[in-house]
Amino acid sequence: MCETWAVPGSDTEALLEQANVIDGLKYLPVEEVIAYKQLLDRDKDRSDLVAVEQATQDRRVRHGFAARRRVTPPG
C-alpha cells in the first residue's frame, strides 16, 4: 500500500474513486498496476509482470479468447 501513485499523469484521488472495492479494500485496475510495476522495474516487479501475463493468458484460454486458427470455408 502507498500514499500516492507514482505513474506520471495519474491522479491518485481519481484512481481511488474508480477503484473496485472488494471486502472493503480498494483495488486499482490491472492496467494501472502493470504501468506502476513497469515504471519501478524492480526484480520483484518483473517477476510479478511475468505472473500477470501468465494469468492473463490462462484466463483467455479458459474463456475462449485465445488466438484461434482462422478457417476458410470451402468453395
At 14-55, the pLDDT tens digits run: 888 889 999 999 998 888 889 889 999 999 999 999 999 998
Is 9 part of a structural domain of the chain? Answer: no
For residue 5, the model assigns a pLDDT of 66
The answer to whether position 58 is within a domain reads yes
Given this model, what pLDDT does residue 68 score? 54
The reply to whether 74 falls in a domain is no
Stretch 57-67: mean pLDDT: 73
Statement: residue 70 has pLDDT above 60 = no
Is 36 contained in some domain?
yes
Task: Determine which helix (DSSP H) or strand (DSSP E) holds 75, and give its type and residue range.
Answer: none
Residue 70 placed within a domain: no
In degrees to the nearest 10, what's the CA dihedral of 1, 48, 28, 3? 20
56 located within any domain: yes
Residue 75: what pLDDT? Answer: 56
Q: What is the extent of the structural domain holding 46?
A: 29-65
pTM above 0.95, yes or no: no
Provide the domain count of the chain. 1
